[in-house]
Amino acid sequence: MTLRINKTDIEKKALYIRQENNIQTYGVKDIFSLVEQRGTHLIRYPFGKDTVLGFSTIFEGKEVIVSNSSEILSREIFTIAHELGHIVYDFEDENQDVKIDINIDEIDEDISEARAYYFASCFLMPETDLLEFIKYELEKKAENFNAVDIIRLQIEFQVSYAAAVKRLYDIKLINYNKKDELFNERDYNTSRALFKMINADEKLLEASNVIKVPSRYLEYVITNYENNHIPYSSLRNALALLGIDASIFKKKEDNKDAELNIDDIFEEYE
C-alpha cells in the first residue's frame, strides 16, 4: 500500500522552516542549535543503542523533542528532524500525546510516520540544494556516483549513507539498480573505510552519548534553590542528571535538607 501524503506541502513546509531559520548552507550544520533557537526544548540522553530513537510532545504548551544520543550522530540528527516533523504536523491541536519512534525507517502504513520521515528528508536534503551541490561541488551525474560520492553528500548534509541514497532515489536521480549498487558498495567497503579513503572526520559514524537539557532547566533549578524554593538535596539530584557537582552551588547554611522528589521539579518546570 502506498501512503498518500502531500509531498508538495511537506516540501514547502520544510523549505519555509529552513528560510525562517536563515539556513544559507546546503545542509543543516547544527540542528541542535536550530531546534533550540526556534523555541523547542531539546533533550539529548543516552538511552542505549537500539532502544528508542526519540520522541516528541507538547508539554504545557511547549514543544519538546527528546533524542537518543547513544545512536550514531547521523541517525540522531535525522531523528531530531523527524521529530520536528511530528511537531509541525501532529500537534497542531495541542494534544498532549507523545510520538515515540523506535524505528523511523519502517513507516509501514502510518501516515504520520511517513509524513515525518519525508519532512526530515526534505528539511535536511532539499531537492534544490541537493541538485546544486551535485552540479557545482561534485560535478558529476548521479547515475555515475560511487560510494565515495555518497560519503561527500553525507558529510555536507549531515545524514546517514542510507538516507542520502534513499533521497537520491526518491527524487528520481538514480534508479533502483543504482540504489542497490551503491548499498552493495557500502556494504563491501564499510562506511568507516570509505570515510578514511577521503580522510574525513568520522563523527557522523559515532555516538556522542551526551546528556543535554535546555539551559533554562539548569537556570530554573539553581534559581529555585537560591531563592529557598527547593532544598539542596533536590538541587543535587537535578544536577546529577547532567553530571554536575551541586556542591559548588551549596550555601553554607545548608547542611540539613528535607527531601523533595525530583518529579516535583519537572512538574513545576516551565
pLDDT in tens, 112-166: 889 999 999 999 999 999 999 999 999 999 999 999 999 999 999 999 999 999 9
Residue 72 in this model has a pLDDT that exceeds 60 = yes
Do residues 223 and 243 both lie within one domain? yes
Give a yes or no: residue 210 inside a domain.
no
Give the pLDDT band (50/70/90) at residue 1.
very low
The pTM of this model reads 0.82
Give the pLDDT mean for 212-222: 79
Is 221 in the same domain as 164?
Answer: no
- Are residues 92 and 58 located together in one domain of the fold? yes
Please indicate, yes or no, if residue 167 is contained in any of the structural domains: yes
117 and 173 in a single domain? The answer is no
61 with 109, same domain: the answer is yes
245 pLDDT band (50/70/90 cuts)? confident
Q: What's the CATH code of the domain at 107?
A: 1.10.10
Q: What residues make up the domain containing 60? A: 7-124
Is the residue at 153 inside a domain? Answer: yes
CA-angle at 240, arms to 235 and 245, nearest 5°: 80
Number of domains the chain is built from: 3
Residue predicted with more confidence, 253 or 176: 176
CB of 80 closer than 8 Å to CB of 32: yes
Q: What is the pLDDT of residue 50?
A: 87
Structural domain contains residue 39: yes
- Residue ending a domain, among 203, 234, 251, is 203
The runs of H, that is alpha helices, within the chain are 7-20, 31-37, 73-90, 111-124, 127-133, 147-157, 161-170, 176-189, 191-197, 215-226, 232-240, 262-268
Q: Please write the tens of the pLDDT for every residue from 220-238.
A: 788 888 888 878 887 787 7
Of 203, 227, 250, the last residue of a domain is 203
Examine the domain organization and report whether 50 and 91 are in the same domain.
yes
Residue after which a domain boundary falls, among 77, 103, 124? 124
